[in-house]
Amino acid sequence: MKRKTNKLLAYLLVLVMALSSSVTVFAEGTATISGNDVIEDTQEPADDSVSSNDVTEETGEDTDEIINVDQETEEAVSDNDLDAALDQEGEKETDSEDMFPGLPANYTLSAEQLSQKESLRGYLDQMNDAEAGVDYVENEVFFSCSTREEAELYAEAFGAELKSYFDNVAVLCLPEGVTVTAAVRASANMEKHLPAVSPNYYRYPMNSGYATASYDDPMLQTSHSGYQWHHQVVGSVYAWDNGYKGAGVKVAVLDSGISPHEDLEIADSYNAAAGATSGTVDENGHGTHVGGIIAARHNNGTGGSGVAPEAALYNIKVLGQNDEEAGTTATLVRGINKAIEWQVDIINMSLGGYGGTPAEEDAVNRAVKAGIAVFVAAGNDGSLTACFPGAYEKSICVAATDTNNAKAYFSNY
């Protein structure tokens, strides 16, 4: 019996000493307990003290179990600290502890939904430098879900209005006085009975300054003022000479739309902002230019030539709605979903913005899992800042080069 008592004491003392070096215990008065306080308060005779050698002898192989318990305890404290911090952030913004009604008590978040909440926590720091109305849509959050009923249930959990739901993407309009930051931080808190939601970040076209409105075959000649020098850099001509012109390859262009053009052939079109096959005309020229770089027809005596002149173009409009240049992450996710549905081989997104979201990254991951290569612009701010969706792990991020085959001055790198 005495041996069991000593062994239990050894467990407790080692655990207390391990925790006292790294954990502060908060009571109502936020008092702290140190290792010395514990030893003084026990007031045990010196003969009954336990040394580290005694612990090893008494516990034997069980010492590893103590270390594991200590590590798990520290991880749990770390997670609890983050949840507490998220609570404080939310209360600071709204001065209300119960700003969101939450999901019904009988609703259980699935393992996938809990994983989405955990993933969202990794993106919270990006919101610190983001500005509502500039970097993301003010008073809007979005998420992916399978049914309208589920979308409506989530809207009620945030006391919000379901602004739109189609193609498995829902957009919520938050109630007056509630910020996007507060809603996202609350949704990332594992203690809150809320699903994960993300800011509806803006995504902008990446204009390089080299855009041109026409595409002539004569531009393949070095004497032409609009010579397409990039073909020489990437080796297009060598590929063409060997019969590789993109035949049978389906390329989805997620951009500002593609307008009718004599040098372009469109296999199919979709407006991801409206959920319709109409309204896909390019209103600012960016998407048409990108489509031409990819698949403008050649050897037809007009225009320039695309890198893959026989590829099939799939026009998915995600930018430039309602006379605005930008699109949103919600629209972009819908566009990726449509590209997956069409079973394309390549997705091209010459666009981006700052701030990533789990839903957008999940869409990219699903596309890659479906066998689609996802190419995204690195950004055109001439900085080292990560630009999304190009910065996601499974995106193929492409920077720009100049006529000297060096990094272009405007390109993120």
The separation between CA 174 and the C-alpha centre of its own chain, rounded to angstroms, equals: 21
Q: Where in the chain is the domain with CATH 3.30.70?
A: 111-196
**Second-level CATH architecture of 111-196:** 2-Layer Sandwich (3.30)
User: In percent, how much of the chain has pLDDT > 70?
Assistant: 70
Query: For residue 140, what is the DSSP state?
Result: E
Query: For residue 104, what is the DSSP state?
Result: -
Check residue 221 and give its pLDDT.
64
Contacts (Cβ under 8 Å, ≥6 apart) of 10: 50, 54, 55, 58, 59
- Characterise 348 by phi-psi region: left (phi > 0), alpha (psi -120 to 50), beta (else): beta
Q: Where in the chain is the domain with CATH 3.40.50.200?
A: 217-398
Hey, which residues does 411 pair with through a beta bridge? none
Question: Between 148 and 99, whose confidence is greater?
Answer: 148
* CA angle 257–387–163, rounded 5-degree value: 55
Helix axes 52-59, 2-20, angle to 10 degrees: 130
- Characterise 36 by phi-psi region: left (phi > 0), alpha (psi -120 to 50), beta (else): alpha
pLDDT tens string 57-114: 444 444 444 344 444 444 444 555 555 555 555 444 443 436 899 999 999 999 999 9
pLDDT higher than threshold 90 for residue 262 = no
For residue 58, the number of C-alpha atoms closer than 13 Å in the C-beta half-sphere is: 20
pLDDT higher than threshold 50 for residue 31 = no
Range among 91-100, 199-208, 278-287 with highest mean pLDDT value? 278-287
Check residue 149 and give its pLDDT.
96
CA–CA gap between residue 254 and residue 334 (Å, rounded): 10
pLDDT higher than threshold 80 for residue 372 = yes
pLDDT tens string 327-347: 999 999 999 999 999 999 999
Which pLDDT band, with edges at 50, 70 and 90, does 5 fall under?
very low
Of 177, 362, 382, 206, give the one whose Cα is nearest residue 395.
362
Of 377, 318, 370, give the one whose Cα is nearest residue 344.
370
Mean per-residue pLDDT, 9-16: 37
Tokens 């720009």 locate to 400
Q: Residue 345, class by beta-carbon neighbours within 10 Å (0-12 exposed, 13-18 middle, 19+ buried)? A: middle
With beta carbons less than 8 A apart as the criterion, state whether 412 and 381 touch.
yes
User: In percent, how much of the chain has pLDDT > 90?
Assistant: 51
Work out whether strand 312-317 and strand 250-255 pair parallel, antiparallel, or are unpaired: parallel
Check residue 330 and give its pLDDT.
96
Please tell us whether the domain made up of 217-398 is placed in CATH 3.40.50.200.
yes
With beta carbons less than 8 A apart as the criterion, state whether 231 and 307 touch.
yes
Mean per-residue pLDDT, 196-200: 96
Which pLDDT band, with edges at 50, 70 and 90, does 302 fall under?
confident
pLDDT tens string 234-247: 888 788 878 899 99
CA–CA gap between residue 21 and residue 40 (Å, rounded): 16
Check residue 204 and give its pLDDT.
83
Give me the chain's average pLDDT, please.
Answer: 78
Q: Is the pTM of this model over 0.75?
A: no
For 329, phi then psi, to 5°, come to -65, -35
Q: Residue 99, class by beta-carbon neighbours within 10 Å (0-12 exposed, 13-18 middle, 19+ buried)? A: buried
- Give the helix, strand, coil percentages of the chain, each rounded to 5: 40, 15, 45
pLDDT higher than threshold 50 for residue 56 = no
Question: How far from 122 is each of 198, 252, 269, 317, 353, CA to CA, in Å?
Answer: 12, 30, 35, 29, 17
Which pLDDT band, with edges at 50, 70 and 90, does 383 fall under?
confident
CA–CA gap between residue 300 and residue 280 (Å, rounded): 26
CA–CA gap between residue 8 and residue 96 (Å, rounded): 45
Question: How far from 194 is each of 58, 89, 155, CA to CA, in Å?
Answer: 47, 16, 10
Least confident window among 82-91, 247-256, 383-392? 82-91
Question: How far from 160 is each of 127, 131, 153, 188, 359, CA to CA, in Å?
Answer: 21, 21, 10, 17, 19
Mean per-residue pLDDT, 157-186: 96
Least confident window among 21-30, 228-237, 252-261? 21-30
With beta carbons less than 8 A apart as the criterion, state whether 172 and 197 touch.
yes
Least confident window among 91-100, 178-187, 382-391? 91-100
- Tokens for 338? 């449509």
